[in-house]
Amino acid sequence: MQRVIFLFLLLCSTVILAQETPAPAPPKNNFEAGFDGMLGISYGSETLGINVGGPSLKYKFTKNFKVGAGCFPSLIVMDKKALPRLAVSPIIEYKRWMFITPYYGYDAKDKQIWTFGLGYKFI
């Protein structure tokens, strides 16, 4: 009888200890890098900028709200001339709308070119 009780306890303890513990959830990655399918228009410093999405790095606070920085291939209209430029900009994104502040460098008069605008993300 003692052997039966001993074997029963041994069997129960091995069954209990053999249970799997759930795997821990993978760490949440809130950083997102990629290309933005965005079209935007910005204005400032007597300059109009037509910006398209380029590479960006963003931190996702919620599903719909992100903050980051990116580069935008742009066409700027300044002094009645259209010039291609690469802009660097901080980005505030909410759903599909982006608030951008592109920086284009310096003009011929050694003045910094900044513009402010909105963009819409298609992709």
Q: What is the pLDDT of residues 43-80, one digit of tens each?
A: 998 899 999 988 999 999 999 999 999 999 999 998 88
| pTM flag (> 0.75) | no
Torsion of CA 9, 13, 14, 17, to 10 degrees: 180
**Does the residue 65 lie in any domain?**
yes
Rounded distance between C-alpha atoms, residue 86 and residue 5, angstroms: 80
**Does the residue 5 lie in any domain?**
no
Q: Total domain count for the chain? A: 1
Structure tokens at 90: 């901080």
Expressed as residue numbers, the domain containing 85 is 27-121
**Does the residue 4 lie in any domain?**
no
Rounded distance between C-alpha atoms, residue 76 and residue 40, angstroms: 12
Rounded distance between C-alpha atoms, residue 77 and residue 97, angstroms: 23
**Does the residue 2 lie in any domain?**
no
**Does the residue 66 lie in any domain?**
yes
Handedness of CA 51, 57, 61, 63 (dihedral sign): positive
Please report which confidence band the pLDDT of residue 27 belongs to, taking 50, 70 and 90 as the band edges: confident
The pLDDT, as a whole number, for residue 53 is: 86
Residue 6 φ then ψ, to 5°? -60, -45
